Structure 1
Amino acid sequence: MLGLPKVTELSKQLPKNAIYAKFQMNTTERAKIDADISRITIVNEVSSARINIADGEQVKSFFVLLVVLKRKNFEDKTIITISKLIPQNMLLILECGNEAKLATYHTKLMQTDWKPKDDLSIELKGLNMDAVWENIIVQIGGITIDQGNTLDEQIAVDEQRMKLQKEIDRLTKLAKNEKQPKKKFELAQQINKFKQELEGC
C-alpha cells in the first residue's frame, strides 16, 4: 500500500471495542465513531528494522492504519481520537468507496484531498526516521518550511497567516457593504493593519 516496501506490510485488525475501552467512551461517543468508521486495520509498520533507514532520536517507527469510513463528511474529532489510540506516530489512510485520502495528527489534524485510492502514495525521504516522519507530515500538510524554521514553528506561522487572511476577508466584505464613510475608513485602516501583519509573518 502507498508504494511502501513489501517488508513493512501487516494485516492486523483493530477492533472498535479496543478504542471504546481505552478511552472509556460513553454511548454517545461510541455512536459517533460507529457513524463514521466501518473498520480499522494496521496495514504497515515502517521501522529501521524493516527498511534500510537509521533510527531517529524521536522516531523509531510509524504505523499505517487503513480506516474504512462509512461517509466522506466524517467528524475530524473521530480521526483525532484514532490518532491518539496508539502512542506511536501514525499515518492514516481514510478510505470511502473508491476514494481515499491521507491524514496524520501533528499539533492538528492534517489531510490530503480525496483521490482514487490506487493513486495514493507516500515517499520515504530522509537519512533517518526523524527526517522521514517529518517529510511525511510536510507531504500530507502541503507545508513549505521557510528557512530557519522548524516544522512546528512553520505550522504555527501558517496557522497565524490563515487567521489573518480570514480576518482580512471578513473585514473586506464588511467594508464593501458599509455605507458610512467614517466606518468604511476605520475598516480600511484595520484591513491595512492586518495586511502589514500578514506580510511580516
Structure 2
Amino acid sequence: MITFPGATIVNRTLPKEAFYKRLTLNNELKEKFISDVKHITLQNSLTAQTLHLASGGAVSEILVLVVELKKREFDPRILESIARQNPHKLVFLLRYGDGAQLTLYHGKLYTTSWQEPSQLALSARGLNLDAVWDSFLEQIVLAEETNPPAGLSVDKRIKRHELLQRLQKELDKTEKLTWAEKQPKKKFEMYQQVQILKAQMEEIINGQAENA
C-alpha cells in the first residue's frame, strides 16, 4: 500500500495540454503524449516540512505524480522527458485498467511490474529527504535484491544489482546454447564460458570483484 502523511496530499489535476507545452518535446513525443496519456494528477508533495523531517541535503522536494494511461504499452520516453526537465525528484504511479506500477528516473527509468494497486507498496523512510529518496530507490530499483552488502551506497548497490542481472541473462543464454550444441569441442568451449560467468557472479556476490 502507498501511504504518505495527510500533509503531503495535493491531489491536483494538471491540465495535460499546459503540462506538455512546458516540456521540450519533439513532434513524435508530443503525439505520443497526447495518444498515450489520459491525465496527470499531482498526488503528493514530499518535503521536509510535510514529512516533519530534518531540512538540508541535495533533495528539496519529491513529487508523486499519478499518470492515467490510455493504453498499457505506452512510450516510456514520455516519463523520462518529464523527469529530466523537472528540478524535483519524481515518482510516477502509472495506472491502466485494473493495473498499476511505480516508476522513477535515476539516470534512467526504473519500474516495478504491473500489479493490482493494493499490492504496490511505497513508504517514506529516513531522517531527511536524501534518505527518503534512497529508500524509494531501494523499494523500486532494488526490490529484488538479495543479501545486500553492508557499507555500499545505494548507487553502488544499483550498479552491482544491474551487473548481476546482465551476467545472469548472459549465463542463462549461454547455458541454453551449451545444452543444444552438438559439436564436442564447441560444447566444451561454451561450458568453460559458463564456468567463467558463474565465477564472475560469485566474486560480485561475495564482494571480491572490483565493481562490487
CA distance in 2, matches of 1:159, 1:121: 22
Equivalent positions of 1:156-167 (< 5 A) are: 156-167=159-170
Unaligned runs of 5+ in 2: 205-212
Q: In structure 1, what is the equivalent of residue 33 of structure 2?
A: 33
Secondary structure of the structure 1 residue equivalent to 2:177 = helix
Matches for 1:56-75 after TM superposition, within 5 Å:
56-75=56-75
Kept after mapping to 2: 8 A contact 1:19/1:85: no
The residue number in structure 2 matching 1:185 is: 188
Q: Residues 85 and 13 from structure 1, CA distance in 2 versus in 1: closer, same or farther, beyond 3 angstroms?
A: farther
> Can you list the C-alpha shifts for 1:6-60, whole angstroms capped at 9, x where unaligned?
1111133333334543443232221222232111111110111122111241122
- CA distance in 1: counterparts of 2:26 and 2:124, whole angstroms: 39
Cα distance between partner residues in 2 of 1:191 and 1:118: 41
How many residues get paired?
201
Q: TM-score, normalised by structure 2?
A: 0.86
CA distance in 2, matches of 1:114, 1:183: 41
Tell me, what secondary structure is at the counterpart of 1:57?
coil
The question of 1:200 aligning with 2:203 is answered yes
Q: CA contact under 8 A between 2:41 and 2:67: conserved in structure 1?
A: yes
Q: Is the 8 A contact 2:60 2:88 kept in 1?
A: no
Identity over aligned pairs, percent = 34
Deviation, 1:119, is 4.3
Amino acid at match of 1:33: F
1:6/1:200 CA distance change after superposition, 3 Å: same
TM-score (norm 1): 0.90
Distance in 2 of aligned mates of 1:172 and 1:51 = 49
* Alpha-carbon distance in structure 1 between the residues aligned to 2:19 and 2:182: 55
Amino acid at match of 1:6: G
Match of residue 97 from structure 2 = 97
What is the rounded CA distance, in whole Å, between the counterparts of 2:121 and 2:115 in structure 1? 10
Unmatched segments (≥5 aa) in structure 1: none
Cα 1:86–1:24, aligned 2, differ >3 Å: closer, same or farther? Answer: closer
Distance 1:198 1:134 in 2: 25
